Amino acid sequence: MINTASIVNIPYLQLREGLNELVEGGTRFFHMDLMDGHYVPNLCYPLDLVREIKAAYPQVTADVHMMVTNPMDYIDRLKTAGADYVSFHTDSTSFVRRTIDTIHRAGMKAGIVINPSQPVDHILPYAKYVDMVLVMAVEPGFPGQPFLEGTMERLEELADLREKCGSHFLISVDGGVDRERCASCQKLGIDMIVGTRHNIFHQPDGIREACRRFEAEFGAGEQ
Ligand code: DX5
Ligand code: ZN
CB 144 less than 6 A from any atom of ligand 1: yes
- Which atom of ligand 1 approaches the CA of 137 most closely? 12
- CA distances to 17, 37, 220 from 174, rounded to whole Å, are 23, 19, 21
- Which atom of ligand 1 approaches the CA of 198 most closely? 13
Residue 111 CA to residue 127 CA, distance in Å, equals 10
C-alpha atoms less than 13 angstroms from C-alpha of 70 in its C-beta half-sphere: 4
Residue 178 confidence (pLDDT): 94
Active-site annotation, residues: 33, 174
Using alpha carbons, select from 75, 74, 67, 107 the residue that is nearest to residue 91.
Answer: 67
- CA distances to 66, 80, 100 from 106, rounded to whole Å, are 16, 9, 10
What separation in Å is there between the alpha carbon of 67 and the centre of ligand 2?
A: 8
Which parts of the chain register pLDDT below 70? 220-223
Q: Which ligand is nearest to the CA of 87?
A: 2
- Which atom of ligand 1 approaches the CA of 8 most closely? 9
Q: Which ligand is nearest to the CA of 6?
A: 1
Q: Which ligand is nearest to the CA of 40?
A: 1
Residue 52: which H helix or E strand, with range?
helix 47-56
Residue 220 confidence (pLDDT): 67
Give the closest residue (by CA) to ligand 1 atom 4. 143
CB 143 less than 6 A from any atom of ligand 1: yes
The residues near 166 (Cβ < 8 Å, ≥ 6 apart) are: none
Residue 93 confidence (pLDDT): 98
CB 3 less than 6 A from any atom of ligand 1: no
Please answer whether residues 4 and 191 qualify as being in contact, where contact means their C-beta atoms are separated by less than 8 angstroms: no
CB 8 less than 6 A from any atom of ligand 1: yes
Give the closest residue (by CA) to ligand 1 atom 8. 6
Please answer whether residues 100 and 129 qualify as being in contact, where contact means their C-beta atoms are separated by less than 8 angstroms: yes
Residue 217 confidence (pLDDT): 95
